[in-house]
Structure 1
Amino acid sequence: MGIETTRADRKANKESRELPKATDTNSKSKHGRSRRRRKKMSPVQKLFETCKEVFANGRPGFVPPPEDIERLRAVLDKMKPADLGLSPEMLYFRTQVGRGTPAIRYLHLYENEKFSMGIFCLPPSGVLPLHNHPGMTVFSKVLFGTMHIKSYDWVVDAPTTTSIDVNPSEITAAAVRLAKVKVDSDFTAPCNASILYPADGGNMHCFTAVTACAVLDVLGPPYSDPDGRHCTYYLEFPFTSFSVDGVSVPEEEREVHAWLQERGKPDLSVVGAEYRGPPIVDK
């Protein structure tokens, strides 16, 4: 509509030189202010608005159309630490002396029933253990630093077997299930966002901070215990640890297969911290 109005103004100016100049100047001024307002939208606000559109029909198991996946990914790929008020010098990212498992800070940006946005701040050697994302599409963007990501997908139709938990303090029978490695690599910023899906793309994954790093996560839909979308953690065992009738893997592929077993919550300290970056306005 703005384009049509501009064209009409040009036509009127051409046909009649008696139009007051102030009218034309005011029109241009309004369009100029409108363009400036659009340009002033912060990157994090743009991310929020894009998430609202991409996950408008979000529900468990929902995967946005390919064009929406790429649109959201393109926004994430451009995100920089400064866009979120972050820098490697912040206390969150310092080496923690005297701790076996470094504490991880989580900065909550936004959450509703459709999607959530947040940032994990990991000091060197910080670990988010192997866990799943039931019924979710997840975008992860390393903002700075180097992160090792290892992820698995379930091997469809592979039978399960029963094993004895290797932890002596928890001698219980638990099923193990065959999974295949999807990703096992270091990601160093700047790099593109990674995406996992409800049934593939590495739905179970583990983050290990090679250096201090920050990871921006978008989950659609978010975790929800009342709706059965709770976080499950896993132990992983080499394929050769168990022999299961009906399961065979070529020798050259055994290194990329593993048995996963559900476990209780590990020794993990994730501490909420205040997000101090540019505000997100939910209009």
Structure 2
Amino acid sequence: MTIEATVEPRREPTAHVNKLGFAKRPTKRKRSKKAKKRAPTMALQDLYVSCKEVFKGPGTVPSHQDVKRLCHMLDNMKLEDFGLSCKLKFFNPKAAVNGTPRVTYTIVYECDKFSMCVFFLPATAVIPLHNHPGMTVFSKLLMGTMHVKSYDWVDPPTTDEPDSPAQVRLAKLEADSVFTAPCHTSVLYPTTGGNIHQFTAITPCAFLDVLGPPYSNQDGRDCSYYKDFPYTAFPNGEMGLEEEEGDCYAWLEEITMPENLQMFVIEYLGPQVDDGCS
């Protein structure tokens, strides 16, 4: 059984969209009659329990063993674990706004230490270069073929560094590859692993993101967007960086949220995790 027939986009006015392009987290309210609570699949419940044990909150990074543990679990997860199918209407190329393919996402679970979200991208949809400040992120491609480009800063900015979004900063290319489901889980860390990345759907795609801790404007974990320029586009100054064999670099400039970025949140009506609170 899928949730295709019951998932509906939440009607959010533009004023309710934050810098990330996501609608703000809805206030807690009684679930609608059609949103009856469904028992979690074993895979989803096991993932939730492990995330509670692995993510310790802001300023922490999971241990190597914990990363392996979550990756092993995520590698085996499927759309069906979330009550989803490949026939969802979000993959329809006609689901576009002003000609731009619309990205849809749903929050499976969220707390102050981690979140689990599933994203749906029709073919050619793009989530542009963006960062994950202070986060460890596990990305599992559940269906489709996707191109991923990711960077890490050569010299990560310090917390007391003045905000200068117009300044270009040098970054090292960590990935520029095509992935097809099923494939292994990708992991990025606060300063390594490709913390700044871009997704481009080659075919209709769905992927699960597990973020710890989650985005939070109040706690300074807001999302920034970037535009990349060739390494040769700007003088290297006194950096004197020499590209070693296999290494590629680019200049990244922070930009405002792209105007054509269309991301819509929907209510998650699939199997619910049992957090012991209901």
TM bucket, shorter chain: 0.7 to 0.9
| Structure number with higher helix proportion | 1
1:147 aligns with 2:146: yes
2:135 alignment counterpart: 136
CA RMSD of aligned residues (A): 2.1
Separation in 2, partners of 1:113, 1:157: 25
1:275 alignment counterpart: 268
| Cα displacement (A) at 1:157 | 7.3
Specify whether residues 95 and 249 from structure 1 end up closer, same or farther in structure 2 by C-alpha distance, changes over 3 A only: same
1:193 aligns with 2:185: yes
1:31 alignment counterpart: none
1:12 alignment counterpart: none
- Percent of residue pairs identical: 52
1:48 alignment counterpart: 48
**Larger radius of gyration between Structure 1 and Structure 2:** 1
Q: TM-score, normalised by structure 1?
A: 0.76
| 8 A contact 1:102–1:125 mirrored in 2 | yes
1:112 alignment counterpart: 111
Runs of at least 5 residues in structure 1 that lack an aligned partner in the other structure:
1-39, 159-171
Q: Secondary structure at the match of 1:174?
A: coil
| 8 A contact 1:81–1:144 mirrored in 2 | yes
| Cα displacement (A) at 1:173 | 8.3
Runs of at least 5 residues in structure 2 that lack an aligned partner in the other structure:
1-39, 158-163
| Cα displacement (A) at 1:269 | 0.8
| Cα displacement (A) at 1:274 | 2.2
1:75 aligns with 2:73: yes
Q: Select the structure with the greater relative contact order (CA < 8 A; seq sep ≥ 6).
A: 2
Separation in 1, partners of 2:95, 2:186: 31
Q: Secondary structure at the match of 1:71?
A: helix
Specify whether residues 254 and 157 from structure 1 end up closer, same or farther in structure 2 by C-alpha distance, changes over 3 A only: farther
Matched positions, count? 229
| Cα displacement (A) at 1:245 | 1.2
Specify whether residues 100 and 247 from structure 1 end up closer, same or farther in structure 2 by C-alpha distance, changes over 3 A only: farther
Deviations 1:195-232 (A, max 9, x none): 00001000000000010000100000001101110000
Separation in 2, partners of 1:86, 1:263: 34
